[in-house]
Structure 1
Amino acid sequence: MDLLKLNARDNVAVALKNLRAGEIVSYNEGEVCPLRDIPGGHKVALQEIHAGENIVKYGFPIGKAAEDIPQGQWVHTHNLKTNLGEVLTYHYSPRKTDSVNPAPAATFQGFRRTDGKVGIRNEIWVIPTVSCVNRIAELIAKTAGETLKQRETIDGVFEFKHPYGCSQMGEDQLLTQQILADLIHHPNAGGVLVLGLGCENSNIAEIKKRLGDYDPERVKFMVAQEVEDEIETGVQLVLQLADYVRSFKREGCSVAELTVGLKCGGSDGFSGITANPLVGRFSDHLIAQGGSTILTEVPEMFGAETILMNRALNQEVFEKTVSLINDFKAYYAFHEQPIYENPSPGNKQGGISSLEDKALGCTQKGGNSQVVDVLKYAERVHARGLNLLSAPGNDMVASTALAAAGCQLILFTTGRGTPLGTCVPTLKIATNSELFKHKTNWMDFNAGRLLEGLSMDDLALEFWDHVLTIANGNKTQSEKLGFREIAIFKSGVTL
């Protein structure tokens, strides 16, 4: 089979490989003759589609025909236009979610903290309050890390630099402080050194207001302007933290203790067929065992948002989902930017033609579970199950927001490839085997095997086991490469 029709209602199919003009190809319901060469991952018209008619994929419209499209024609951005408009009015039509046969009951070896939270890494983090001390943080982490590298119970010392902490106003400043406070509380960090300059807006006193209660054995503070040698003093504080961090040992923990972020980047025409549904299956399995997942990238929900809305636990969660969507649209409108400036050039090259096309694939990472809560940006998770999180599609900003919300690891699907990694393990799932083989140093798991005859049931169980090995301490490719960065969302002015 050379084409895949995804839903009985579809009038297009996806090319599973590069197709040549004039060569009859088969799909699950018949045959069609491509009128031109068509790249793998792109769409082919299965019937004549008249100008103005909906183009249907996944059983939903992904846009309308901009011109008459004959059977066998390539369907893409040149002859497909979005159906999406501006801010919409929504109505709650709850849909019963399908029951899930969970993966076998499982535990993992995690680090249980004194506050009851569980981490999957036992690291020491150096978190600067302001960009002025980024290099100091880097030098402290490097020097202390070299001293501690022989101590096996500590997974490393890492700094997380960022460009903010000063010259911010209002909500931007408060959100920067809250994101940093969230990271200070993160259970993957056995110990944290908070590094300030001394004269910044987001100084340590302000961070403490956001931080709330903390364990002074676990969290240390240093103001660079107040010490004679900030590197030496910082290293000594990290070594003090190390004595505390070494007290933690891996122990058996229920998978219900896991909170996993769901993210995609560099998507292609196979994302909604392989990797995203695979991650969705994992999400359903984890939730069935009492765990939590968080889906974000709000602009990439536009066009599929009603699917999520109608899976809301109740009217309150539905209303919060409506606000999630419309508030992000208002953000674009306030800055006089087009709401539907998506997909990216790489998405289009990979076969995604419209935002609806992208969103219907993107939201599959959330599986079929009920949406139990909607989180604001910089808010930490507190309800077990599938959560939605307000954050943009930008890979690093969204990944940081997922970590700050409490995710111990992130599942990141990609069809184009990316080396990105953030402050928590970021596991890359390739949508196609060609990418997996081409970028073995970036990719952790190959979902492209679903296009080669492997069943979803079998691959989902293999993937479940693979994720648990990461929770148990195996390193992701991005960790091995040292890709550990954060980025904070900014919407206001800079002084």
Structure 2
Amino acid sequence: MSQTIASDTFQRPSLRVHAADNVHVALKDLPAGSEIEDNGRTVRLTEAIRHKHKFALQPLAEGDLVIMYGVTVGRVTHPIAEGGAITTGNVEHSTDSDQAQARREHWNAPDVSRFQGITFEGYHRPDGRVGTANVWVVVPLVFCENRNIEVLRQCVADALGEDPYRDYKRMAREMLHGQASDSPAEQPNDERLFPNVDGVRFLTHTLGCGGTDDDALALCRLLAGYICHPNVAGATVLSLGCQKAQIDMLKQAMAERDPEGLRPVHYFEQQASRSEDTLIREALTTIFDGLKEANRVTRQPAPLAELTIGVECGGSDGFSGLSANPTVGAAIDRLVTLGGSGILSEFPELCGVEHELVSRCRDEQVAERFRSLMDAYQAHAAAVGAHFSMNPSPGNIRDGLITDAMKSAGAAKKGGDSPVVDVLDYTEPTVRKGLNLLCTPGNDVESTTALVGSGANLVIFTTGLGTPTGNPVAPVLKVSSNSEMAQRLPDIIDFDAGPIIRGEAQIAELADELLQLCIDTASGRYRPKAVQLAQYDFIPWKRGVSL
């Protein structure tokens, strides 16, 4: 016996995202024979459809286009019956990005009356920018210094009594020795020596030597972006001495970001030092002196226009483009309306929606910059036999994102609907208020690292499968696309967009709640789960093919 289900009921079984779509998304597991009502007609499922996967609303012949979000997300390779599943076996990647589209003259800005006059409590820097955190960073110019960075990290954690892995160390002792108590040196320090500082962040990486001159320059520009970041009070830099990424190269990149030399930076070269003991002692001195100075800065009110939020997605599922990403996009639209900025990255995940983003560019110069960067990236990928269509991971595909265009259409929702004011290449800083596009790979940590390097003082990261990604400098808020995952992984999720899938909430109301959470985070009133877990991921992009 067939099961008849209405698509507009409270616990709706499936959803047509856009009026022009010829597929539905299953919001729960649907057995074969289920009857789905859509716009006054009934579609009978010819096979079981897993939740998050798509099924055809009409018979589709070979060569027909699959439409979702109102755009092309695939081309049919084998006939699909009405009510049949959309799979990698019958659909391939295809887009309509070559279609010309007129530039939009206006956009419908959201109602932001509830946020008018609202401020956040931030750290005001001498260059006029405002941070959402206050950290001192310790960075290596080359991977050879990673060991010394780790020595410094352990020394500082021990001296401050702020070891984030204390509980895990106790767990390991108990497992091996049955020892249940902390040693005196490992007792938590309830009184922070520097209450106005969020900590010292130690960055390590695998670059700095052995690559091209362009690789070294890109690394130095990225590190300069971190050292000059509004969330950073100052930096200690370690160099070996003989590597390609030289201190002078970093100083030049610093001069471009901080021409007046307002940010305190201390440089150390191991090959010019008398001994390792001397190097560590002098580096520790700059860190502790820097913490004392950073502690003099306190949080003060700042307008929401000083927020720059980078948006990222990772471990996406079939619901990400329906709940989490549109909610984030709506929050970014609100921030832009209030004078703030957003940064949308991951160029491989914009493949297939280029025409939509071009139509939103503020002028032809911005549009041409986007087209040229996308074309150059795709050409570089093609030179080694790769293509953006290879972007979806096995996890993405298992959860219904079977083509890159389908993934991209949902991923682009994080950028909302506001005009694109600027397009940035990797490591370039944001200089215009509003929505910016940033050329990065789709790799979660490489892209998040780049967003912060270009000036994001807060990051919103959406996930459908669960990913713990964080950042050493900027707070990262994790937004789940579905409630099941949010409940299963509460230690890494900050905000649940799942009520949209269940029909219990609208995107607009959740966007208001999410923006308020951003304000609380920027003010230090809320500590994201990634910060609580000391999830400080940092991976520079070695400018190659990373999808």
TM-score calculated relative to the size of structure 1: 0.95
Q: Post-superposition shift, 1:214? A: 5.8
Q: Post-superposition shift, 1:141? A: 2.8
Q: Does residue 198 in structure 1 map to residue 244 in structure 2?
A: no
Q: Does residue 292 in structure 1 map to residue 341 in structure 2?
A: yes
Q: Distance in 1 between matches of 2:485 and 2:231?
A: 30
Task: Mark the runs of 5 or more structure 2 residues left unpaired by the alignment.
Answer: 1-11, 163-191
* Number of matched pairs: 491
Corresponding position of 2:57: 46
Using the TM superposition, name which of 410-419 and 56-65 deviates more. 56-65
Pairing partner for 2:428 from 379, 382, 402: 379
Task: Mark the runs of 5 or more structure 1 residues left unpaired by the alignment.
Answer: none
Corresponding position of 1:142: 154
Q: Does residue 224 in structure 1 map to residue 270 in structure 2?
A: yes
Q: Does residue 64 in structure 1 map to residue 75 in structure 2?
A: yes
Other structure's SS at 2:115 match: coil
Corresponding position of 2:505: 454
Corresponding position of 1:132: 144
Q: Distance in 2 between matches of 1:216 and 1:299?
A: 36
Q: Distance in 1 between matches of 2:544 and 2:495?
A: 39
Residues 350-400 of structure 1, C-alpha deviation per residue, up to 9 Å, x if partnerless? 111211111111111111100000001110000110000111101111111
Q: Post-superposition shift, 1:206? A: 2.0
Contact 2:266 2:286 in 1 (8 A): yes
Q: Distance in 1 between matches of 2:460 and 2:357?
A: 19
Corresponding position of 2:535: 483
Q: Post-superposition shift, 1:441? A: 1.0
Pairing partner for 1:181 from 224, 228, 232: 224
Using the TM superposition, name which of 20-29 and 300-309 deviates more. 20-29
Corresponding position of 2:107: 97
- Detail structure 1 runs of 4+ shifted over 3 Å in the superposition: 25-31, 88-92, 213-217
Other structure's SS at 2:74 match: strand
Other structure's SS at 2:207 match: coil
Contact 1:142 1:157 in 2 (8 A): no
Q: Post-superposition shift, 1:334? A: 2.2
AA at the equivalent of 1:395: D
Q: Does residue 359 in structure 1 map to residue 408 in structure 2?
A: yes
Q: Distance in 2 between matches of 1:296 and 1:227?
A: 44
Q: Does residue 271 in structure 1 map to residue 320 in structure 2?
A: yes
Call closer, same or farther: CA 1:90–1:200 in 2, change over 3 Å. farther
Q: Distance in 1 between matches of 2:137 and 2:131?
A: 13
Contact 1:4 1:28 in 2 (8 A): no
Call closer, same or farther: CA 1:274–1:216 in 2, change over 3 Å. closer
Residues 458-479 of structure 1, C-alpha deviation per residue, up to 9 Å, x if partnerless? 2111111111111111221111
Contact 2:127 2:262 in 1 (8 A): no
Q: Give the 5 Å matches for 1:321-360.
A: 321-360=370-409
AA at the equivalent of 2:50: P
Q: Distance in 1 between matches of 2:423 and 2:338?
A: 21
**What fraction of aligned residue pairs are identical, expressed as a percent?**
35
AA at the equivalent of 2:231: N
Q: Distance in 2 between matches of 1:84 and 1:288?
A: 31
Corresponding position of 2:493: 443
Q: Distance in 1 between matches of 2:407 and 2:267?
A: 44
Q: Post-superposition shift, 1:179? A: 0.7
Contact 1:22 1:36 in 2 (8 A): yes
Q: Post-superposition shift, 1:182? A: 1.1
Q: Post-superposition shift, 1:134? A: 1.0
Q: Post-superposition shift, 1:146? A: 3.5
Other structure's SS at 1:340 match: helix
Contact 1:377 1:401 in 2 (8 A): yes
TM-score calculated relative to the size of structure 2: 0.86
Q: Post-superposition shift, 1:321? A: 1.3
Q: Distance in 2 between matches of 1:437 and 1:79?
A: 34
Corresponding position of 2:475: 425
Q: Distance in 1 between matches of 2:488 and 2:371?
A: 40
Corresponding position of 2:184: none
Corresponding position of 1:162: 205
Other structure's SS at 2:436 match: strand
Corresponding position of 1:16: 27
Q: Distance in 2 between matches of 1:214 and 1:449?
A: 49
Cα RMSD, aligned residues only:
1.8
